[in-house]
Amino acid sequence: MLTLYDNLGSGNGYKVRLLLTHLGIPFRRVDKSVTNGETRLPEYLRVNPNGRIPAVVFDDGRTLAESNAILLYFAEGTLYLPTHKFARAEVNQWLFFEQYSHEPYIAVLRFWRQYLESLTAIQEARVSELLEKGHAALKLMDDHMEKRQFLVDERYSIADIALYAYTHVAGDGGFDLAPYANLRAWLARVQCVPGHIPIDRECGP
Amino acid sequence: MLTLYDNLGSGNGYKVRLLLTHLGIPFRRVDKSVTNGETRLPEYLRVNPNGRIPAVVFDDGRTLAESNAILLYFAEGTLYLPTHKFARAEVNQWLFFEQYSHEPYIAVLRFWRQYLESLTAIQEARVSELLEKGHAALKLMDDHMEKRQFLVDERYSIADIALYAYTHVAGDGGFDLAPYANLRAWLARVQCVPGHIPIDRECGP
């Protein structure tokens, strides 16, 4: 059975849990703390040399890391990835946007506020920058969703899964979603997709 | 003809230039400054609402942003993307590693040192963190290349193109590559791939 190295609080882990649950693929979840250093221990670095969750280990021992690469792997050939080449390119565009222009601000501020006992002086000094850049990402998404139901091709896909993961808990990082009506409607729409599970729900067989 | 919004100093732009040149796809290059704010002007935000280069505009007006999403689009069905599903997943893993664990340290320090007149106090305070995390990325790649010729499947692919772009100019950001013999051998190998062009070479017809 597939093994998922995961953390129940992690949006990056949640993306994979949510897709595997939609697809009905059974998996064994191994929870790793993201604060006590256990993802940097030699045992785990053999799974993912980059020392991060999520990572999956297949029955034959092969491993795959990077949440969005894992989404692409399992979504291929399913309803959750468009077949049209340009629509797939747009999904990829959103996946890279998420990791470069969204997660480093929205997920990082949430991590700082939810997981750390206190911030360093440098972190304190960066809060306003992260809020500004995170809001820029949310505004871009809100504008994009003005006349759309889902991010790409008017169908729920792994682009929605990847962006939903940290957007719906952006409040934990201090982001007020009140100004983003289109975004809030989209969050509600994602929550209504059949088979949806919340971020902290332990799944698998 | 395809239009590439680009900047000759940008590694992200270079990735696209290098792949299009390998593929013999003609393109018109429009240079945008990354320091004078012109990528944030309304005219450019209609091309890429995220206000970054590179972005491509097709003949029919469709646009695509995010350097690695552009690489995946053009590499599909060519020698530069493996056909085997797991090898493609490994390419994707490297592409997301590049944007999350490599570029934000190695490219950002290069940008600070090459493009900014002076650093803010917060930037100055972050230099040691960026050096440490950038070296962690370089060490991971060096370990991976110990017994390999290329990043994935022993063949030159867009994973190599994406990681080469900022690794080969890491010195500009203050990263000494001397400790990374495997990485330096790989850089030399990439430079010997037929059709290789340097980062500052203006290409296209």
Per-residue pLDDT reduced to its tens digit, B122-148: 999 999 999 999 999 999 999 999 999
Whether B86 sits inside 8 A of A62 (CB atoms) is yes
Asked if residue A201 belongs to a domain, the reply is no
Beta bridge partners of B55: B5, B65
Do A117 and A19 share a structural domain?
no
pLDDT at B205 over 60: no
Which residue bears the tokens 């320090």?
Answer: B109
Sequence-distant contacts of B188-197: CB under 8 A, at least 24 apart: B189/B149, B189/B150, B190/B156, B190/B160, B190/B161, B190/B164, B193/B22, B193/B156, B195/B21, B195/B22, B196/B18, B197/B17, B197/B18, B197/B21
User: Which of B44, B75, B106 marks a domain boundary?
Assistant: B75
Ranges in chain A, pLDDT < 50: 204-205
Whether B100 sits inside 8 A of A101 (CB atoms) is no
**Pairing state between β B55-57 and A63-65:** unpaired
Asked if residue B178 belongs to a domain, the reply is yes
Q: Any chain B CB within 8 A of the CB of A132?
A: no
Instruction: State how many domains chain B has.
Output: 2
Asked if residue B197 belongs to a domain, the reply is no
User: Which of B30, B48, B75 marks a domain boundary?
Assistant: B75
Write out pLDDT tens, residues B10-54.
999 999 999 999 999 999 999 999 899 999 999 999 999 999 999
Best residue of A50, A90, A100 to probe chain B, by most B CBs closer than 10 Å: A100
Chain B nearest-CA distance from A12, in A, is 13
The pLDDT value recorded for residue A205 is: 37
Do B95 and B183 share a structural domain?
yes
**Using CB atoms, which residue from A69, A122, A125 is nearest to B96?**
A69
Do B33 and B111 share a structural domain?
no
For Cα atoms A73, A75, A79, give the angle at the middle one, nearest 5 degrees: 165
Chain A nearest-CA distance from B48, in A, is 10
pLDDT at B200 over 80: yes
Provide the number of CB pairs (under 8 Å) joining chain A to chain B: 92
The pLDDT value recorded for residue A92 is: 98
The pLDDT value recorded for residue B173 is: 97
Q: Any chain B CB within 8 A of the CB of A195?
A: no
Asked if residue B54 belongs to a domain, the reply is yes
Best residue of A60, A91, A93 to probe chain B, by most B CBs closer than 10 Å: A93
The pLDDT value recorded for residue A203 is: 58
Q: Any chain A CB within 8 A of the CB of B68?
A: yes
Asked if residue A40 belongs to a domain, the reply is yes
Asked if residue B25 belongs to a domain, the reply is yes
Do B43 and B128 share a structural domain?
no
Q: Any chain A CB within 8 A of the CB of B126?
A: yes
**Pairing state between β B2-6 and B55-57:** antiparallel
**Using CB atoms, which residue from A69, A76, A126 is nearest to B93?**
A69
Residues of A in Cβ contact (< 8 Å) with B89: 64, 69-70, 72-73
Calculate what percentage of chain A has a pLDDT beyond 70. Answer: 98
Label residue B83 by pLDDT band (50, 70, 90): very high
Residues of A in Cβ contact (< 8 Å) with B95: 69, 96
Write out pLDDT tens, residues B89-115.
999 999 999 999 999 999 999 999 999
Do B90 and B71 share a structural domain?
no
Domain span including residue B169: 85-191
Chain A nearest-CA distance from B166, in A, is 16
Calculate what percentage of chain B has a pLDDT beyond 90. Answer: 97
Do A91 and A64 share a structural domain?
no
pLDDT at B73 over 50: yes
pLDDT at B204 over 60: no
Q: Any chain B CB within 8 A of the CB of A68?
A: yes
DSSP string for residues in A116-163: -SS--HHHHHHHHHHHHHHHHHHHHHHHHGGG-SSSBTTB--HHHHHH
Instruction: Give chain B's mean pLDDT.
Output: 96
Chain A nearest-CA distance from B173, in A, is 19
Q: What is the pLDDT averaged over residues B52-74?
A: 98
